Amino acid sequence: MDKNIKGPVVGVLGGMGPMAAAVFMCRLIALTPVRHDEEHIPAILWNDPRIPDRRLAYFHNGKDPMPWITHAIGHMQNAGAKVIAIPCNTVHLWYDQIVANSPIPVLHIVQAVIDDLHRKGIYSGRIGLMGTALTLQLGLYQGFLQAQGYTCIVLNDEQVHEHCSEPIRLVKLNRVEEAYQPAAVGVSLLKELGADAVILGCTELPIAVPHHRRSELGVPVIDSIDALALATLDWYQKQEKPQ
């Protein structure tokens, strides 16, 4: 490694799912204000779909994803990464373990989403949540949001299956266009329940509900991919400032 090549590098741990990680990289590039290529953020994408299923792992019916995560972070650090971004919400149920086993900082996607709510001027109110059944059931977002004064709205189990789990499944099957309608209905149901904004709290859901269609929904949509990309950009810009 050439020691003369210095500066902050971002490690992106992907594969959960692979398309979400690829879209995260595209959004990180699209959201970075630059005048030429050299001003973009140096990044390493470790897009490993072999990381064991998080739902099965959490209920002790499947392999532990932690050895795979630790392995990936170690390789990215060896390649020069100084921070890790993980464009998967569900794996943040392991966040404390990930941080404890990581030699470098790890951004938190839920905090990134809350920062994006603030960025959009939403400091209080009723927030609709969409995500995997596991993250909704275990309250990945609820505790963070309630601690900062928000009220959380979640669909019932049947609606979560139809309007969250199903569009997530379709995106993972590369059937992205089919995923829009059930996901959009989920957003509309949360709006009808009084949501002032809706968080797409699974990184497949921003793919199911693309940017050019969000104005149709009549409620602010908080995109966890974009939120994490903006948190990554914020981290990078702080490293680049003269000390």
Same fold, 10-108+227-240 and 110-224: yes
Tell me the pLDDT band of 58, cut-offs 50, 70 and 90.
Answer: confident
- 99 residue type, one letter: V
Is the pLDDT at 92 greater than 90, yes or no?
Answer: yes
- DSSP for 86-106 reads ---SGGGGGHHHHHHH-SS-B
Is CATH 3.30.710.10 correct for 110-224? no
Q: Any idea where the domains of the chain sit in the sequence?
A: 10-108+227-240, 110-224
Residues 6+ positions from 176 with CB-CB distance below 8 Å:
170, 207, 208
Tell me the pLDDT band of 61, cut-offs 50, 70 and 90.
Answer: confident
Q: Yes or no: say if 232 and 41 are a contact pair by the CB < 8 Å rule.
A: yes
* Domain 10-108+227-240 fold: Rossmann fold (3.40.50)
Is the pLDDT at 243 greater than 50, yes or no?
Answer: no
Tell me the pLDDT band of 241, cut-offs 50, 70 and 90.
Answer: low
